[in-house]
Amino acid sequence: MPHGFPKSLDISGPLVLASHNLNKIAAMKEAFAGYPVELLSARQLNLQSPDETGATVLENALIKARSVARQSGHTAISDDSGFFISALDDLPGAAAVDWAGPDGDHTPALKRIGDMLSERGLTTSAARYVTVIAAALPNGTAIAEEGATHGHLVWPPRGKTDGYLSVFADTPGAKTISELMKGQDTGATHDLPVYAHRRPTIDRLVRRLHFS
C-alpha cells in the first residue's frame, strides 16, 4: 500500500460495512467473527452509496469507506475490485464494472477486450483480479490492504459470460473459471476462485484495527 497511511486505526463504537450487497456483508461479518466489535452496514443504516469516481481500485475503496464513515459518524470498512490485463496496459482495471452494459451485461466489455487484442495481434496475456480493503475514521484517516489473484486471459471466451469469468484461467491452456464453475451459483462473489485473495486481505486489515 502507498506511503502516508498510518500503521493502524483505533476503533471505538460500531464498525459500519460500506456496502448494500448482501453477499459482501455476509463475507465481512464472517471475517469479523470473534472480534469485540458491533457490525452495522450501509444497507442497514440506509446510507447513500457515493459515486465511485476514483481512477484506481484503492481510490474507490477509500471513497466508499470515507463517505460511509462521514455519514454514519463511525469507522467504516469497504472494498473495491478490478480486473487487470497486463498486455492491454492493465485495462479495464478499476473500470471493470463500467465497461459492462446495462444490467451488468459484460458482452460489450468482452467485445472491447477482443477488439483491443486483435489490434495488437494477441490471444492471451497475464491478468489478475485485484481487491483493496479500506477502513476509514469519520475524520478521513484511513488504512488499506491490497490482494490479488494472478492468472491469464483466455481468448476467445469459454463458458457462460458472467463478468470476466469466461476469459480468466490459472494458465493459458486451463479451463476458464466459467467452465470450472458450470452449473454452480456465481452470485456469492467472495466464494469465487478469482477472489481467493479476498479473505486474507481482509484478515491483514483486521489485524491493523485496534478495538476498544
CA–CA dist 131, 204 (Å, integer): 13
Find out whether 25 and 19 touch, Cβ atoms under 8 Å: yes
Find out whether 123 and 172 touch, Cβ atoms under 8 Å: no
User: Which residue in the list 10, 51, 79, 80 is annotated as catalytic?
Assistant: 80
Instruction: Find the helix packing angle between 22-31 and 198-206, rounded to 10°.
Output: 50
The answer to whether residue 80 is catalytic is yes
- List the catalytic residues: 80
